[in-house]
Structure 1
């Protein structure tokens, strides 16, 4: 543990929008401490390294937490069914991961207010309520998939299912309920280190490094495969790698850790560390599954992550199977903790509840009640005999894919709100890239919704949907540019970023009301209509499958 105590004369800080007074003060990270009055510049490699160690946590945890039970299933399916032919999707997702998470860590450090609360304040009660209810329901279902992963892992390891699931739930609740942010983060970082168990599995199976390197940088589609099946798996990879809960968790966790804009560079480094671990773990899973099952009857016939462990044992030895199962158990536990915390943070932010890991149970009863209630409910659902676990997993992946574009749209709008971010608002290049990401996510969301509603959707129909979405995007862009020219609006000039290291968002009641243009109002209405219709149709389809109709 490091303790950075070098100080300089403190400068009185202006009043900010921080909603919970536990969110202000010293940074007590898993690997170090930074005093609130430590404003000295970091000079020299040693000082910078100690600062990084103290800051590491939010980016690492949110990224490794995203390599959860659902991700294990998706990546191993890609490797078992298509070899290493889809490795290139991971490379394309790296900038998407970074841009999305960089924007929310910037929002957290600059505003001191959670994602759901900002949506409520800047876009109205409907979207605020929608974001929280949507997050609550989707995260509750996602938690079920985490405990499904736990059942698969303990089943392979020969442990009893019910005690194993309940013990895992107790560990998740206990780790976050001590009233010490540092103790939770140390537990979480230890679990993050457990994800590295995938690396020895890779070396035990020893897939061809040359072929993997080629497939990682050269895009292509697996030969002798249905385009529709491959497209849906690619969408699943996107959905499991860029999930809505990540946005809410990272922003709130950055706030709870008390990270301010002056440490932005270190938090970005933390994020890159997390992204590197995620990509390495995902690539390792695709690689060792491709090598282990190649030439065997199981190739192309993925079932679940539990069977992956058994297959690794058959073709690479018992050690490989055990290490994979332990890594799955580890990933499911950290995923359960992060997903449930993101919900508790959001509800606490919107309802004005005390919501901080710095507080004990007595000091934040509502926050911990939501957190523990979600975890225990998911655990109970999984151990109930006859629960439709497979359908729940499918429903979660589908709803996450459907709802992700809306989360990214609001993220982009907030990061262009000068009242919220001041000198930290997006630049032009960031806006162009993020707009392209949003367009791609909307297209994938529409394809995924159509595929769930129409299981026999052909490859040609998928390409037609993508083409229609592309044309619609071009028309929307043309309309926006035409309207700008007709109104005589000048393009946005460069942003004055002077003194941004010390700029924080003022209290919410001091912010001017945002001006909502006709185009934005029409766009949000269209988004609302699409989301409502897609969610209803997906739920109806899942219920039909559950009832055998």
Structure 2
């Protein structure tokens, strides 16, 4: 890959920031270019802007494409095989959710220099800090197992030995991240991201009806003659696989490790949009070519796994389509395993005070790389052990991710309204209103998913009742907040935000931040959320264990 280096200009000394690892400060050495730390030259020409964008590209692209992992392949192809293209509209609705969530975390990363888990620990206390790291660790560990399940499905179709292939894939992931060069890792990751584009030629080989795809993408509808409960659970799975908790932790820490500052925020937003476009195109392509490949066959409505999709594509469009799909699945599994493992290693490094940077070699960050490699190796070993309940693990990951979705979004919203943390970069009113609505929807979906796991025969009427109850509860909470605002005489828009000097403002060191003040309403809300998550997680885990024991 070609490298672009921008001209440097001396800059005024920057104020002391809160970064926890000194390797997070310095030149930006991206896969496609370099920006010197003291370069403050204005970007007026198109050439200068393009060089800057090339140097910045990485975090948004990797986090989005990494989310189109093995689990996503299974979810999107299940939607296509079971319901055709009738659920394509969910992808369009998820675009603003993806952007707003990831824009908030990239803003947190660039402005604070501190990872997501550490900010939760500092601003909400040890319980929530520990809870966020423990649930991230457990969920990510299980997610990495599903990535290697994807490896086995891909190499099984390609006729390669499964055990050797899983171990080679694990070695590739570990070596790519352990060279002590951030640039080498990012170049490898960007190449893997390009591999996701293999889904596009499969789409054209299978050639689904473009007019039907366009209609179903923009016009919401539900599949005819289908159980609402089954469709709702698949929609929840689509949301869970597209808006995953690990993304928030990864993007924030990766932005910090790449040394991106607020000055380059608009370029990082462009990088994020690039990733969103690629992930939506890939998801839509999977739904489209799977729908046409299985339409009118005995396999329609009977999704099994991604390997079955490869065989179905081969039967419909030829061997080339099946091989390309298997290679794309293998590529997605590897980049997914890399990103999910790094999100965990970054989070633990932030909270435990470990050196945690890809700019450091193994000797300079032993704990960081031990966590990263340990997760990869443990997942690979579990997958190659004969008799491992791989199908149950995949189902458990999707369920737990759905249950935990609201927690990650709630803390993201609260942190982005913390003026001590983000100063002139805090959320505007429109972002808060939209994100609050998203959190309410995620809570509702989480409750439905938990109920469905505990009561497998949950009816469509029961799901509608749950949605109605959650809607009423949301309206009551909104009414209480508005009543309290009026009694206290608070302005509906709060204190005006002075956004001057945004490009140079950075969060002060953590020990200089004022102690956070939580209102009674927020304390009650967080306590309710804490109770729900603990109970729901416990019940779901018990149910999964019962299934594993044949109960």
TM-score, structure 2 as length reference: 0.99
- What is the CA-CA distance between 1:86 and the residue it aligns to? 0.2
Equivalent-residue separation in structure 2 for 1:531 and 1:445 (angstroms): 10
Q: Secondary structure at the match of 1:4?
A: coil
Equivalent-residue separation in structure 1 for 2:520 and 2:83 (angstroms): 46
Contact 1:2 1:50 in 2 (8 A): no
- What is the CA-CA distance between 1:74 and the residue it aligns to? 0.2
Equivalent-residue separation in structure 1 for 2:491 and 2:111 (angstroms): 28
Q: Secondary structure at the match of 2:506?
A: coil
Equivalent-residue separation in structure 2 for 1:516 and 1:217 (angstroms): 41
Deviations 1:24-65 (CA, angstroms, capped at 9, x unpaired) = 000000000000011000011110001000000000000000
Contact 2:3 2:31 in 1 (8 A): no
Q: Secondary structure at the match of 2:405?
A: helix
Equivalent-residue separation in structure 2 for 1:32 and 1:243 (angstroms): 29
Equivalent-residue separation in structure 2 for 1:37 and 1:9 (angstroms): 5
Moved over 4 A (4+): none
- Structure 1 stretch displaced more, 200-209 or 481-490: 481-490
- What is the CA-CA distance between 1:489 and the residue it aligns to? 1.7
Equivalent-residue separation in structure 2 for 1:465 and 1:37 (angstroms): 55
Equivalent-residue separation in structure 1 for 2:495 and 2:396 (angstroms): 44
Provide the residue aligned with 1:192 in structure 2.
Answer: 193
Q: Secondary structure at the match of 1:3?
A: coil
Deviations 1:114-139 (CA, angstroms, capped at 9, x unpaired) = 00000000000000000000100000
Q: Secondary structure at the match of 1:28?
A: strand
Deviations 1:261-294 (CA, angstroms, capped at 9, x unpaired) = 0000000000000000000000000000000110
Provide the residue aligned with 1:480 in structure 2.
Answer: 481
Deviations 1:46-95 (CA, angstroms, capped at 9, x unpaired) = 10001000000000000000000000000000000000000000000000
1:124 aligns with 2:125: yes
Provide the residue aligned with 1:363 in structure 2.
Answer: 364
Provide the residue aligned with 2:516 in structure 1.
Answer: 514
Contact 1:65 1:338 in 2 (8 A): yes
Provide the residue aligned with 2:281 in structure 1.
Answer: 280
Provide the residue aligned with 1:301 in structure 2.
Answer: 302
Give matches, 1:57-456, under 5 Å. Answer: 57-456=58-457
Equivalent-residue separation in structure 1 for 2:135 and 2:458 (angstroms): 27
Equivalent-residue separation in structure 1 for 2:225 and 2:67 (angstroms): 31
- What is the CA-CA distance between 1:366 and the residue it aligns to? 0.1
- What is the CA-CA distance between 1:6 and the residue it aligns to? 1.8
Equivalent-residue separation in structure 1 for 2:8 and 2:305 (angstroms): 54
Deviations 1:141-194 (CA, angstroms, capped at 9, x unpaired) = 000000000000000000001000000000000000000000000000000000
Equivalent-residue separation in structure 1 for 2:101 and 2:491 (angstroms): 27
Question: Which of 496, 499, 510 is the equivalent residue of 1:497?
Answer: 499
Contact 1:90 1:279 in 2 (8 A): yes
Q: Secondary structure at the match of 1:77?
A: helix
- What is the CA-CA distance between 1:493 and the residue it aligns to? 3.9
Q: Secondary structure at the match of 2:37?
A: coil
Q: Secondary structure at the match of 2:15?
A: coil
- Pairwise CA RMSD: 0.6
- What is the CA-CA distance between 1:227 and the residue it aligns to? 0.6
Equivalent-residue separation in structure 2 for 1:256 and 1:290 (angstroms): 41
Contact 2:200 2:285 in 1 (8 A): yes
Provide the residue aligned with 1:532 in structure 2.
Answer: 534
Contact 2:21 2:356 in 1 (8 A): yes
TM-score, structure 1 as length reference: 1.00
- What is the CA-CA distance between 1:317 and the residue it aligns to? 0.2
Provide the residue aligned with 2:550 in structure 1.
Answer: 548
Contact 2:6 2:51 in 1 (8 A): no
Contact 2:355 2:368 in 1 (8 A): yes
- What is the CA-CA distance between 1:5 and the residue it aligns to? 3.2
Equivalent-residue separation in structure 1 for 2:518 and 2:248 (angstroms): 23
Q: How many pairs does the alignment contain? A: 549
Equivalent-residue separation in structure 1 for 2:206 and 2:198 (angstroms): 13
Q: Secondary structure at the match of 2:34?
A: strand
Equivalent-residue separation in structure 1 for 2:311 and 2:3 (angstroms): 42
Unaligned runs of at least 5 residues, structure 1: none
- What is the CA-CA distance between 1:487 and the residue it aligns to? 1.5
- What is the CA-CA distance between 1:380 and the residue it aligns to? 0.2
- What is the CA-CA distance between 1:315 and the residue it aligns to? 1.0
- What is the CA-CA distance between 1:3 and the residue it aligns to? 3.1
Equivalent-residue separation in structure 2 for 1:19 and 1:464 (angstroms): 47
Provide the residue aligned with 1:30 in structure 2.
Answer: 31
Equivalent-residue separation in structure 1 for 2:545 and 2:58 (angstroms): 39
Provide the residue aligned with 1:463 in structure 2.
Answer: 464
- What is the CA-CA distance between 1:410 and the residue it aligns to? 0.2
Equivalent-residue separation in structure 2 for 1:326 and 1:186 (angstroms): 19
Contact 1:344 1:368 in 2 (8 A): yes
